[in-house]
Amino acid sequence: MEILFQSVLILIAVLTSATGAEEVIYAQLGETITLKPPEGYKSHNYYLYWYFGDVELVWLNYLGGSSYIKDKEWMHFSLSNGSLKVTFIQQEQFGTFTCKLTWDGVKTETTYKIIKLSVNSSFVVLPGEPLPLVCDTETLHSPNKPEIHWLNPQEEIHSPSVTVNATNQHNGQWACVVTHDKKIHKAKISILVLDLSPAPLQPQYTSKSSPLTIPCSISSHISWEQIKAKGIQEGHWQFFQKPSSCLKSVDPQRLFQLSLKKPVSWSKEGEDRGLTPVSGLEKGVLSLTKKQWKVEDRGDYVCTLKFNNGVTLNRTVHVDVLQISASPGIHLISGQQLNLTCSLSYPLSSDMSMKWIVPEQSSQQPVAFQQGSTYFTILRVDTNDGGNWACELWQRNKRLTAAVITLMIGENRKKGHDYDLVARPFFMTETFFYIMCLIMSFSIVYRTQQKMRRLRHRLCKCKNPKPKGFYRT
């Protein structure tokens, strides 16, 4: 009875070894797959065989012997540590691979069923264009059917066959996920949505003393050949100047036109506002830059690409220029009142503030700063207040930009016989008027005396003057 029981156990072990395991693998056309040998590989006295269907691909043994198939169809496979690696799998290589292993009189085998997974190839779309997604597999004769779905770049689930209108959220890597017998297989594709980079949510701030780059770009992963293949019609930059108090509306100005000839380039149009294109146009960089800005440069800068199918891509960048001004001017005399004003084209928001920076030698103390205010007043300036004054624009803890003004202040008093260059014209003018008044006074006195002398001579012309009184004639 004991002998019969042992025989049954041996038979069960042999059947198990002979049957082996079966695994289903999903792969895309052109993908690389690696198939592992059964456990027990490299035991003593082993012999290893790999088959595709009934075709023997390779064999090797513990003595170092081996043989490989010479068919050109199987040029892209290799063997490493008993594992079969198939590179760039072709249509005719989808099917059943079998690994047979014999060691110490024990035989086992593992079967791999390679199932073709059909998905879209990577492609480029414009925003709003339909994006058809298809993920499918060949029919598998098994009671356990695979579960299939798409994962978008945000890890959101979509059905195996779905069509959506492309947006920026669809840009990136998509994965077709196949779940079978609790094993997950993924096929990945790249969707490139041809769109301009998002415009800054906040205005871009600059000043006369601060450079600024107006951003606009296309993903560097998209070539100009792909852009032209989508039917690009034109590209340009426009400027919409911010209307002033006396001018309600301003016509847009064309700044640059995109030349699509190879290599692509910008050509300047209209009024020259001192802007220059940033290098890197061949990599999708469409930005403009400028070193010194003016108040007249306040407004909206629009970057536009138009396509033949009616799709228009544009981004608007708001630019505001920080202005600092001095009243009555930048040339002052000691003792004058000074009013400094720092302003944008609109009032500051609640999270923004101004910070004033005074020259190092100035007698103005930090405690006197009107931080957060757009103005700064000094009742009586002196020569130490001359130099560079700066107004910084802050948003929370971030410095946005700064404007600088240079004040020149002269003395308003004598030093010995020398006068300050600024005050000297006033003293010279005063002296001139004083001298003129003296000359005029002397002239009046002199002319008065001359008149009196002439009058006395006229009264004394008679030779025999008569005494005063009345005479009868």
Residue 74: per-residue pLDDT: 83
Distances, alpha carbon 133 to alpha carbons 119, 192, 255, in Å:
8, 13, 40
Residue 418: per-residue pLDDT: 42
Residue 12: per-residue pLDDT: 30
For residue range 368-387, what is the model confidence (pLDDT) as tens digits? 345 566 888 888 999 999 99
Residue 272: per-residue pLDDT: 86
Residue 296's CB: how many other CB atoms inside 10 A?
Answer: 11
- Bridge pairing between strands 398-410 and 331-333: parallel
Q: Collect the ranges in the chain with pLDDT lower than 70.
A: 1-20, 40-43, 142, 244-250, 365-373, 413-434, 437, 445-473
Task: Return the closest-CA partner of residue 280 out of 290, 265, 292, 294.
Answer: 265
Contact 125, 194 (CB under 8 A): yes
For residue range 103-137, what is the model confidence (pLDDT) as tens digits? 877 888 899 999 998 888 878 899 999 988 888 88
**The pair of three-digit structure tokens given for residue 75, joined into one six-digit string:** 């040029």
Residue 417: per-residue pLDDT: 40
Residue 43: per-residue pLDDT: 64
Ranges in the chain annotated CATH 2.60.40.10:
14-117, 140-193, 204-321, 328-410
CATH topology of domain 328-410: Immunoglobulin-like (2.60.40)
Cβ neighbours for 323, distance < 8 A, ≥ 6 positions apart: 207, 208, 295, 342, 343, 344, 403
- CATH 3.40.50.300 assigned to domain 204-321? The reply is no
Cβ neighbours for 442, distance < 8 A, ≥ 6 positions apart: none
Residue 432: per-residue pLDDT: 66
pTM across the whole model: 0.68
Cα–Cα distance measured from residue 33 to residue 13, given in angstroms and rounded to the nearest whole number: 31
What dihedral angle (degrees, nearest 10) is formed by the CA atoms of 408, 409, 414, 420? 10
Residue 434: per-residue pLDDT: 63
Distances, alpha carbon 188 to alpha carbons 178, 195, 385, in Å:
11, 22, 67
Place domain 14-117 in its CATH homologous superfamily: Immunoglobulins (2.60.40.10)
Contact 259, 267 (CB under 8 A): yes
Cα–Cα distance measured from residue 45 to residue 193, given in angstroms and rounded to the nearest whole number: 57
Residue 420: per-residue pLDDT: 46
Contact 211, 291 (CB under 8 A): yes
CATH topology of domain 140-193: Immunoglobulin-like (2.60.40)
- Bridge pairing between strands 123-125 and 183-193: parallel
Contact 24, 140 (CB under 8 A): yes
Residue 81: per-residue pLDDT: 84
